[in-house]
Amino acid sequence: MDMRRISIKWMMYSSLMIIAIISSIAGGIYSYHNAEQRLLESTTDYIESLGYSRSQHLKSFLEEQREKADIIAATTQIRDVLSHEGRDEEGSESSMDNALSMMRRSLHTEFSRIHVTDPEGIVIISTDKEIEGAKISDIIPYYDINDAGISHPYISRAGERFFSITVPVDKGTELEGFVIIDISMDHIGDIVSDAAGLRETGDVYLLDSKAIALTPLRHIEEPSIDHKVNTTNFRACRLHAYLPEAEIRARHEETRIIKDYRNVSVISTHYYIESADWCLLAEIDLEEALSIQRKDIILNVLYLFIFLMVFLSITSYLISSIISSPIKKISSKVEKIISGDFETEMGKSRIKEIQSLIDSLDRILASLKLAVMKVGVKKGEIGIGELVKAKEEAEENVRKKKQQLERFAKLAIGREKKMIELKKKLKETQARLDNKEPKKQSKKQSKKQQGNKKEQ
């Protein structure tokens, strides 16, 4: 059977290349998995810090506006307008003018309108003259005058979107009225939806208690007024309105991978704005989070593969040289022995397996020398071919002599068998003769006895 011969160097190189490929694949998968986990962790930290900073900014803004509203509600001008004495006196008009003047001075970049109502919610005075005398619940849909605080956002008659801060005005235990301040939702949008730091797919938006979007959605150009985003993370956020914080943390993680309002996988986190009963959600596409450094990961794996290929190529060359060099020397010395130089020494090797081969060749060489001495061929007249021939001739002579001995032994054994058979036959003949002699004697004796009787 014809087998293709493979050099040690090629075997070493092939083996180490296979190891390099397997190691590169395994190392690449492991590196990619670890890098992916690190990317997810870093992106999670990023989106959490982004959402936290926006939520804190929003909370600070709402608290600041509430403090300003409290200051306005505590002014003497507002109290004079709301006091029964002030409304009944002839100077009530003057009091209202003073209050209106103060209210207009209080209008700034955040405050859009200021209203003062009586306890029943009838507007007594407002910076928007058109709604004076109207009931506030007719101006602000779903507005409950008794629910002081931050109202549900609404759209004004002019088409602007506002939310209101309501501050009660008391005189002792008696409720005199309310100060209601309208603030444009654009200010909230500027805080929440700022594009800075959002990367390509990041989105931060605000939802009310009914999952209606209060700020623009980055991936929807013109959402409807009542567009709902009822995602898993929103529902988790709403738990903050009903359950203790410890129980919420035991049930849910604040950051998770979910499907967003586009049905796209995102890393999403939420923050509950307690003062307004709103939910702030911060999200980024999972694909972007994983692809941020995906090219770098692939390049690192490729560099690892190239490094292993070069390193193992050099290693395979060095190792194969260390192994093949003494084998080449042994081959060269065997050629000398074949040419008849039986004084060639095989030498020593530090490699255990090669040294074992050398020891075996030394024993073969000793046997060859002994064969030369037995055959009687001179060292200078014989090569390994003649030596083998002489050895074969000697073995043939031994074989012939052995065959002769075997034939002689067979002949000797045959003669021995024949002698044994002859002796056996002689014994049988002698036995028969011995049996006949007594019979003759008995016959003679009987005849003699009969003769004697006749004579008598």
The secondary structure of 266-303 as a DSSP string is: EEEEEEEETTTTEEEEEEEEHHHHHHSSHHHHHHHHHH
Q: Are residues 104 and 173 in the same domain?
A: yes
Question: Which CATH number do you get for residue 46?
Answer: 3.30.450.20
What per-residue string of b and e applies to 87-96 under the rule 16 or more CB within 10 Å gives b? Answer: eeeeeeeebb
pLDDT for the residue 196: 80
Question: Which residues are 278's β-sheet partners?
Answer: 273
pLDDT for the residue 56: 93
Q: Which residue has the higher pLDDT, 365 or 72?
A: 72
6 — pLDDT class (breaks 50, 70, 90): low
Q: Which residue has the higher pLDDT, 362 or 85?
A: 362
Number of domains in the chain: 3
Q: Are residues 234 and 197 in the same domain?
A: yes
Does 399 fall in a domain?
Answer: yes
Among candidate residues 147, 140, 141, the one with its CA nearest the CA of residue 112: 140
Q: Are residues 209 and 169 in the same domain?
A: no
For residue range 238-264, list pLDDT tens digits in order.
Answer: 888 888 777 766 665 667 888 888 899
402 — pLDDT class (breaks 50, 70, 90): confident
Largest separation between any pair of C-alpha atoms in the chain: 218
Please give the Cα distance from 106 to 67 (Å, whole number). 13
Q: HSE of 247 in the Cβ direction (CA atoms, 13 Å)?
A: 6
Report the amino acid identity of residue 134.
A
- Which of 96-110, 123-137, 317-331 shows the lowest mean pLDDT across its residues? 317-331
State the DSSP code for 153: P
Torsion angle of C-alpha atoms 430, 436, 438, 444, degrees rounded to 10:
-140
- The mean of the pLDDT values for the chain is 78
366 — pLDDT class (breaks 50, 70, 90): confident
The residue among 188, 221, 236 that closes a domain is: 188
439 — pLDDT class (breaks 50, 70, 90): low
Among candidate residues 65, 50, 164, 57, the one with its CA nearest the CA of residue 106: 65
State the burial class of residue 363 (Cβ atoms within 10 Å of its Cβ: 0-12, 13-18, 19+).
exposed
Please give the Cα distance from 219 to 205 (Å, whole number). 11
Q: Are residues 182 and 200 in the same domain?
A: no
Structural domain range at position 371: 339-451
**Is pLDDT at 364 greater than 70 in this prediction?**
yes
**Is pLDDT at 10 greater than 70 in this prediction?**
yes
Q: Are residues 173 and 237 in the same domain?
A: no
For residue range 336-346, list pLDDT tens digits in order.
Answer: 776 666 667 77
Please give the Cα distance from 374 to 379 (Å, whole number). 12
The residue among 164, 188, 212 that closes a domain is: 188
**Is pLDDT at 54 greater than 90 in this prediction?**
yes
Does 55 fall in a domain?
Answer: yes
pLDDT for the residue 2: 47
Does 92 fall in a domain?
Answer: yes
Among candidate residues 152, 150, 143, 141, the one with its CA nearest the CA of residue 181: 150
Q: Are residues 266 and 214 in the same domain?
A: yes
pLDDT for the residue 425: 78
State the burial class of residue 17 (Cβ atoms within 10 Å of its Cβ: 0-12, 13-18, 19+).
middle
Share of the chain above pLDDT 90, in %: 7
Tokens of 27: 């190392």
Please give the Cα distance from 203 to 37 (Å, whole number). 22
Does 303 fall in a domain?
Answer: no
Q: Which residue has the higher pLDDT, 420 or 214?
A: 214
Q: HSE of 402 in the Cβ direction (CA atoms, 13 Å)?
A: 6
Report the amino acid identity of residue 223.
P
Mapped onto helix, strand or coil, the DSSP state of residue 245 is helix
For residue range 278-313, list pLDDT tens digits in order.
Answer: 999 999 988 887 776 667 777 777 787 788 778 877
380 — pLDDT class (breaks 50, 70, 90): low
Among candidate residues 57, 298, 38, the one with its CA nearest the CA of residue 197: 57
Q: Are residues 207 and 184 in the same domain?
A: no
With contact defined as beta carbons under 8 Å apart, do 62 and 275 qualify? yes
Q: Are residues 350 and 447 in the same domain?
A: yes
Does 355 fall in a domain?
Answer: yes
Does 456 fall in a domain?
Answer: no
Please give the Cα distance from 160 to 186 (Å, whole number). 9
**Is pLDDT at 445 greater than 70 in this prediction?**
no
Q: Are residues 78 and 152 in the same domain?
A: yes
Q: Are residues 284 and 422 in the same domain?
A: no
Cα–Cα–Cα angle for 336, 340, 342, rounded to 5 degrees = 80
How many C-beta atoms lie closer than 10 Å to residue 449's C-beta?
A: 9
- Which of 86-90, 174-178, 399-403 shows the lowest mean pLDDT across its residues? 86-90
Q: Are residues 78 and 50 in the same domain?
A: no
Question: Which residues are 114's β-sheet partners?
Answer: 181
Does 316 fall in a domain?
Answer: no
pLDDT for the residue 102: 85
**Is pLDDT at 185 greater than 80 in this prediction?**
yes
C-alpha to C-alpha distances, 154 to 30, 40, 79, 139, 182, nearest whole angstrom: 53, 38, 28, 9, 10
For residue range 140-156, list pLDDT tens digits in order.
Answer: 776 666 667 888 888 87
Q: Are residues 154 and 258 in the same domain?
A: no
For residue range 55-94, list pLDDT tens digits in order.
Answer: 999 999 999 999 988 988 888 888 888 875 444 555 567 7
Does 329 fall in a domain?
Answer: no
Among candidate residues 383, 295, 219, 312, the one with its CA nearest the CA of residue 23: 312
pLDDT for the residue 62: 92
The residue among 143, 164, 188 that closes a domain is: 188
C-alpha to C-alpha distances, 39 to 31, 53, 156, 286, 288, nearest whole angstrom: 12, 21, 45, 10, 10
With contact defined as beta carbons under 8 Å apart, do 166 and 149 qualify? yes
